[in-house]
């Protein structure tokens, strides 16, 4: 089940973010200070352009996913959002990454009509496989790798 993140999730996500395997595959590999995390987390929860959800299995959080809308109306990139995902260290390798990416992306794209882009370090083959399995397509094989949903859905057609 997907649910929105709450202030009560700050410590859990801080622990996941500072896991050595997570840090090794992040763009910024150094440890995150608690004060920095709290300030970032509060900004994320307060920002309507950001969505942060947790995937739970039997009531236990197993993965998180964040979407951040780019640009504003009429600006370059206004149809895009960047996605970030992480699995709980003790839940890796069980399909939760692919599940949270597939389910959350479908909900997010349906609600926002935005194309979603994942930016991944070339060495992070596990994340690349997750996004490919969830239906994302490689659109740039540079550094970072960029995977994207094929297109944003068209707005609904209304008749008068």
Tens-digit pLDDT profile for residues 97-133: 999 999 999 999 999 889 999 999 999 999 999 999 9
**Proportion of the chain above pLDDT 70, given as a percent:** 88
Domain CATH code at residue 81: 3.40.630.30
Domain range for 131: 2-149
Q: At what angle do helices 10-17 and 34-46 cross, to 10 degrees?
A: 120
Mean local confidence (pLDDT), 1-7? 97
**Proportion of the chain above pLDDT 90, given as a percent:** 82
Cβ 142 vs Cβ 106: under 8 Å = no
Residues with Cβ < 8 Å from 8, sequence gap 6 or more? none
Mean local confidence (pLDDT), 15-36? 94
84-100 confidence digits (pLDDT tens): 999 999 999 999 999 99
Q: What is the DSSP string of 88-150?
A: -GGGTTSSHHHHHHHHHHHHHHHHH--EEEEEE-TT-HHHHHHHHHTT-EEEE-SSSEEEE-S
CA–CA distances in Å: residue 66 to residues 63, 85, 129, 154, 160: 10, 6, 18, 23, 37
Give domain status of residue 52, yes or no.
yes
45-74 confidence digits (pLDDT tens): 999 999 999 999 999 999 999 999 986 554
- d(C-alpha 58, C-alpha 62), whole Å: 10
pLDDT of the residue at 37 = 97
What is the token pair recorded at 94?
Answer: 């069980």
- d(C-alpha 65, C-alpha 85), whole Å: 4
Give domain status of residue 158, yes or no.
no
Give domain status of residue 117, yes or no.
yes
Please determine, for residue 34, whether its predicted confidence score (pLDDT) is greater than 70. Answer: yes
- List the single range of 4-8, 11-15, 111-115 with lowest mean pLDDT: 111-115
Give domain status of residue 154, yes or no.
no
The partner residues of 3 in beta bridges, in order of sequence, read 54
Give domain status of residue 155, yes or no.
no
**pLDDT bucket at 76, cuts 50 / 70 / 90:** very low
Mean local confidence (pLDDT), 27-55? 96
pLDDT of the residue at 132 = 96
If one counts the domains in the chain, the total is 1
Total residue count of the chain as it appears in this document: 160
Its pTM stands at 0.88
pLDDT of the residue at 150 = 78
Give domain status of residue 57, yes or no.
yes
């Amino acid at each position: 089940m997907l649910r929105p993140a709450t202030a009560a999730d700050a410590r859990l996500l801080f622990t996941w973010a500072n896991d050595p395997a997570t840090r090794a595959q992040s763009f910024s590999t150094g440890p995150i200070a608690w004060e920095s995390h709290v300030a970032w987390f509060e900004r994320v929860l307060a920002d309507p352009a950001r969505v942060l959800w947790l995937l739970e299995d039997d009531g236990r959080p197993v993965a998180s996913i964040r979407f951040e809308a780019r640009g504003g109306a009429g600006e370059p990139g206004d149809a895009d959002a960047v996605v970030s995902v992480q699995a709980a260290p003790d839940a890796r390798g069980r399909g939760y990454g692919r599940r949270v990416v597939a389910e959350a992306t479908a909900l997010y794209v349906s609600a926002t009509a935005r194309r979603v882009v994942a930016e991944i370090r070339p060495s992070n083959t596990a994340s690349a496989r997750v996004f490919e399995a969830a239906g994302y397509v490689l659109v740039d094989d540079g550094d970072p790798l960029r995977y994207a949903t094929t297109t944003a859905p068209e707005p609904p057609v209304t008749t008068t």
